[in-house]
Structure 1
Amino acid sequence: MADNDTALTQLEGKNPIAEALAAGRSINRVYLLESAKGRASDLSKLADECQKQGAVISYVNRARLDSMAETQAHQGIIAEVAPYDYQDLDRILEHCESQNIAPFLLLLDHIQDAHNLGSILRIADGAGVHAVVIPKRRAVPLNAAVAKASAGAVEHVPICRVNNLTDTILALKKQGFWIFGTDAAATLHYKEADYGGPIAIVIGSEGEGIAQKIKGHCDFLVSIPLHGKVNSLNAAVASGIIVFEAASGRGQS
């Protein structure tokens, strides 16, 4: 069953709200900058579209919007929305099997930065990842900052929450998945790996990387060579490099 226990009930800015509207998400109320009232603008057009779908429009001053905002870029519009509907991983895998598609998953090991998570969702959407899997604990919740950083991709990429990432990896391996992880000390260059078939790529947290226990269950560890003085990449950059390389190798470029 889908997991609906989530904090994402507020969206901020034009793109996240427009993508939620396009995805059929229920928008309950829109708070719009009062100076936009009666003016022909992108904000007014977006508010009108929300109103057509049943949203109540409230005109407020900038101070009110600033006090409500969870991000620093509400762009004069905030929407109250129905909670995000997490997807069921088993159903996604069943759908892939019914379509004779080798699943391509992205597993996030305790990503706790909202901007990294949002960027990773945007990457997953662009690369054709079938689902992003996150643990219920020690992970940033889906919130307005994640939605903003994802540029609306949160509305289009299936996101699954699991109780235990290790158990999920072991279950995937039993189903024939190859599990890839990243490790700066790995001898396998990320461009030399074979990403064909059912795969799951594990991306580690910003400060600690992939947990040792999870790393031990990976079939392949790949490295991204760095040539500068900074010896690490943030989670979103690392995922972008590897996920698009995998997509290219799978014929998804």
Structure 2
Amino acid sequence: MKKHDVMYGIHALESLLKQSPERVLELWLLQGRDDERLAKIIELANTYGISIQRSSRKVLDEKAQSHQHQGVVARVKLAKALTEKDLDALLEKIPQPFLLILDGVTDPHNLGACLRNADAAGVQGVIVPKDNAVAVTSTVSKVACGAAETVPVFQVTNLARTMRHIQQLGVWIVGTAGEADSDVYQADLKGSLAVAMGAEGKGLRRLTREACDSLISIPMAGAVSSLNVSVATGVCLFEAVRQRL
């Protein structure tokens, strides 16, 4: 069973060093680079006694498997997977939850962008299915620019069942569907809320859609029939933010 992963990118690693420095096992920085962007990472690594190794670009490219690492790569312990029990513990502490449900997002770039939106909007937790969806990988962390380390992601065995469970706890679930009668700007997005977004190109699955309390659409004025899931997520979350101010 895999216990370690490789993480890269300045924002992702700075966030990890701030949130969970104990997960960083080894840290490599680009030889000869000492600019301000790396200074914070060096400072944090020194604070927590994490040794820094200087390496050539070729070595870093190999460790990051040719991904854009921005001159910083680390070997890290895998984060503990959060489950339904952890979600219950969170909901017990929050009087008015603001959650995001992602139904089967398989593209790590889209998941990373959704997490970045969630962090910016103040979402307190993201719920994803354990199967047939991308997990929080190093690519997700890089795209999320630190949000993957600050926004809890709960992997659940049965998404529709979890949705019904949080409904019983008073959370209203609004799902997105192109054929919905009302749009995001007509919906009431205040109070205890979860916004459910469908997978790339497929939308919400039938059982997930049926578990929603209401369905909304995003008005489309042009020739394009739908938006990328991360863009659509941003539209819906920030309309909720506007209403909740």
Q: Fold conserved (TM > 0.5)?
A: yes
- Between the aligned residues of both structures, percent identity stands at 37
Q: 1:94 aligns with which of 92, 95, 118?
A: 92
Q: Which structure 2 residues correspond to residues 12-161 of structure 1 after superposition, within 5 A?
A: 12-26=8-22, 27-36=24-33, 39=34, 41-43=36-38, 46-70=41-65, 72-87=67-82, 88-96=86-94, 101-161=95-155
Q: 2:6 aligns with which of 7, 10, 16?
A: 10
> CA contact under 8 A between 1:7 and 1:141: conserved in structure 2?
no
Aligned-pair CA distance for 1:34: 2.0
Amino acid at match of 2:90: I
Aligned-pair CA distance for 1:185: 0.8
> CA contact under 8 A between 1:113 and 1:140: conserved in structure 2?
yes
Is structure 2 residue 227 aligned with structure 1 residue 233? yes
Give the superposed CA RMSD: 1.9
Aligned-pair CA distance for 1:70: 4.6
Instruction: Report the Cα distance in structure 1 between the residues aligned to 2:43 and 2:74, rounded to whole angstroms.
Output: 13
Partner in structure 2 of residue 242 of structure 1? 236
Query: How high is the TM-score relative to the length of structure 2?
Result: 0.91
Report the secondary structure of 1:202's partner residue. Answer: strand
Aligned-pair CA distance for 1:206: 0.6
Is structure 2 residue 205 aligned with structure 1 residue 211? yes
> CA contact under 8 A between 1:107 and 1:203: conserved in structure 2?
yes
Aligned-pair CA distance for 1:52: 3.1
Instruction: Report the Cα distance in structure 1 between the residues aligned to 2:152 and 2:69, rounded to whole angstroms.
Output: 25
Which region of structure 1 is more displaced relative to structure 2, 22-31 or 186-195? 22-31
Aligned-pair CA distance for 1:79: 1.2
Give structure 1 stretches of 5+ with no counterpart. Answer: none
Report the CA distance shift for 1:147/1:22 in structure 2 as closer, same or farther (over 3 A).
same
Instruction: Report the Cα distance in structure 2 between the residues aligned to 1:204 and 1:221, rounded to whole angstroms.
Output: 12
> CA contact under 8 A between 1:12 and 1:71: conserved in structure 2?
no
> CA contact under 8 A between 2:99 and 2:124: conserved in structure 1?
yes
> CA contact under 8 A between 1:25 and 1:81: conserved in structure 2?
no
Which region of structure 1 is more displaced relative to structure 2, 5-14 or 64-73? 5-14
Instruction: Report the Cα distance in structure 2 between the residues aligned to 1:122 and 1:8, rounded to whole angstroms.
Output: 23
Instruction: Report the Cα distance in structure 2 between the residues aligned to 1:85 and 1:114, rounded to whole angstroms.
Output: 19
> CA contact under 8 A between 1:179 and 1:219: conserved in structure 2?
yes
Instruction: Report the Cα distance in structure 2 between the residues aligned to 1:180 and 1:194, rounded to whole angstroms.
Output: 9
CA deviations 1:24-51 (Å, max 9, x no partner) are: 3322111111223xx5653355234313
> CA contact under 8 A between 2:17 and 2:41: conserved in structure 1?
no
Count of residue correspondences: 241
Instruction: Report the Cα distance in structure 1 between the residues aligned to 2:44 and 2:240, rounded to whole angstroms.
Output: 38
> CA contact under 8 A between 1:7 and 1:142: conserved in structure 2?
no
